[in-house]
Structure 1
Amino acid sequence: MTTAPFLMFQNGRCRAALDFYAATLPDTRTLSVQPYPEGTPGGDGLIMLARVSIDGLEVIANDSTIRHAFDFTPSTSFFHLCRDAAEVDRLADALSDEGAVLMPPGDYGFSRRFAWVNDRFGVSWQLNFE
Structure 2
Amino acid sequence: MFSHVMVGSNDIVRAKRFYDAVLGALGAGEPYHDLAATGHRRLFYRHDGNTFCVTEPIDGGAATFANGGTIGFKCNSPAQVQAFHDTAVAHGGTSIEQPPGLRESDLGALYLAYVRDPDGNKLCAVHRVKREA
Q: Settle same-fold status: TM greater than 0.5.
A: yes
Q: Is residue 102–residue 111 contact of structure 2 (8 Å, CA) maintained in 1? A: yes
* Matched letter for residue 8 of structure 1: G
Say if 1:118 and 1:125, in contact at 8 Å, map to a contact too. yes
Give the conservation status (yes or no) of the 8 Å contact 2:21–2:87: no
Using a 3 Å threshold, how does the CA distance of structure 1 residues 100 and 113 change in structure 2: closer, same or farther?
same
Map of 2:100 onto structure 1? 105
Partner of 2:27: 27
| Partner residue, 1:64 | 57
Tell whether the 8 Å contact from 1:32 to 1:52 is kept in structure 2 after alignment: yes
Cα distance in 2 for partners of 1:7, 1:99 equals: 15
8 Å Cα contact 1:74/1:118 also seen in 2: no
- Count residues in correspondence: 119
Runs of 5+ unmatched residues, structure 1: none
Q: Which residue of 85, 92, 113 maps to 2:85? A: 92
Distance 1:99 1:23 in 2: 11
Structure 2 segments unaligned to the other structure (5+ residues): none
Q: Is the 8 A contact 1:96 1:120 kept in 2?
A: no
> Given that residues 69 and 122 in structure 2 are in contact (C-alpha distance below 8 angstroms), is that contact kept between their aligned partners in structure 1?
yes
RMSD: 2.8
- Corresponding residue of 2:6: 6
Between the aligned partners of 1:74 and 1:115, the Cα distance in structure 2 is 18
Paired AA for residue 107 in structure 1: L
In the TM superposition, residue 105 of structure 1 has moved relative to its aligned partner by 0.8
Higher relative contact order (CA 8 A, sep 6+): 2
Structure 1 residues 112 and 63: CA distance shift in structure 2, 3 A? closer
